[in-house]
């Protein structure tokens, strides 16, 4: 019995060591969102100035009213953001082939840069809101672009991904979640 007591500090040390070691596996940049399961913030963003939709100047940008109804993905992007370019093909496939409506929030971007970027890389977004001063993005809890949010049919935020979307994240997280939310 007494022997076991002497072992106790050693066992405690092992326990703490294992706990800290597992901590290395966690990404310190991945901060849990405070908005999960809460309604998406109320906002009304204008279109990117000069943006054309089917040959006409874009009339509206993106507002919270558009988000209710179907399960949608809101993607925060900017032309100056390198990982955004990396995830762009994944977003495009999600919108054109995998049947998910994707909305864009153009974060702190120059309109001409954003439009050039979209012309060069293609525009997979059903609508884009230009958040030039970043205030609306703060309401969304954005701290690093790109960020993507899944919105359910009632307009609540159900999932958040920080950093570029990869085919793996889409297959393992986004698509199953979309399927689940569509049923719910």
Partner 1 sequence: MKRILLAALLALSALSPAVTPALAVQPDEVLQDPALESRARTISQELRCLVCQNQSIDDSNAPLARDLRVLVRDRLKAGDSDDKVMEYVTDRYGDYVLLRPPFKATTLVLWIGPFAVLLLGAAGTFLFLRGRRGVAAGADTAPLSADERRRLDALLRKDD
Which residues would be at the binding site for partner 1 (CB under 8 A)?
28-29, 31-35, 108, 133-135, 138-141, 143-144
Rounded CA-CA distance 184/35 in Å is 19
Q: Which one, 89 or 134, has the nearer CB to partner 1?
A: 134
Q: Which one, 69 or 144, has the nearer CB to partner 1?
A: 144
- Shortest distance, CB of residue 19 to partner 1, whole angstroms? 11
- Shortest distance, CB of residue 31 to partner 1, whole angstroms? 5
- Shortest distance, CB of residue 34 to partner 1, whole angstroms? 3
* SS3 state at 100: coil
Rounded CA-CA distance 123/43 in Å is 22
CB 65, CB 96: distance < 8 Å: no
- Shortest distance, CB of residue 178 to partner 1, whole angstroms? 25
User: What is the token pair recorded at 75?
Assistant: 């993607």
Q: Which stretch of DSSP H or E encloses residue 6?
A: helix 2-24
Pairing of strands 127-131, 101-107: parallel
Q: Which one, 124 or 141, has the nearer CB to partner 1?
A: 141
Q: How many CA atoms lie within 13 A of 99 on its CB side?
A: 6
Q: Which one, 70 or 113, has the nearer CB to partner 1?
A: 113
């Amino acid at each position: 019995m007494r022997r076991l007591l002497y072992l106790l500090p050693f066992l405690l040390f092992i326990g703490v060591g294992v706990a800290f070691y597992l901590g290395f596996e966690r990404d310190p940049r991945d901060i849990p969102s405070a908005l999960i399961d809460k309604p998406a913030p109320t906002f009304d963003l204008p279109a990117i100035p000069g943006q054309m939709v089917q040959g006409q100047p874009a009339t509206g940008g993106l507002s919270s009213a558009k988000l209710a109804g179907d399960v949608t993905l809101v993607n925060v992007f900017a032309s100056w953001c390198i990982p955004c370019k990396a995830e762009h093909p994944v977003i495009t496939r999600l919108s054109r082939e995998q049947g998910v409506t994707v909305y864009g929030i153009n974060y702190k971007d120059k309109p001409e840069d954003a439009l050039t970027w979209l012309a060069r890389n293609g525009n997979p977004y059903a609508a884009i809101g230009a958040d030039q001063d970043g205030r609306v993005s703060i309401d969304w809890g954005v701290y690093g672009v790109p960020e993507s949010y899944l919105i359910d049919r009632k307009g609540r935020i159900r999932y958040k991904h920080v950093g570029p979307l990869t085919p793996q994240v889409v297959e393992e997280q986004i698509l199953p979640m979309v399927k689940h939310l569509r049923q719910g």
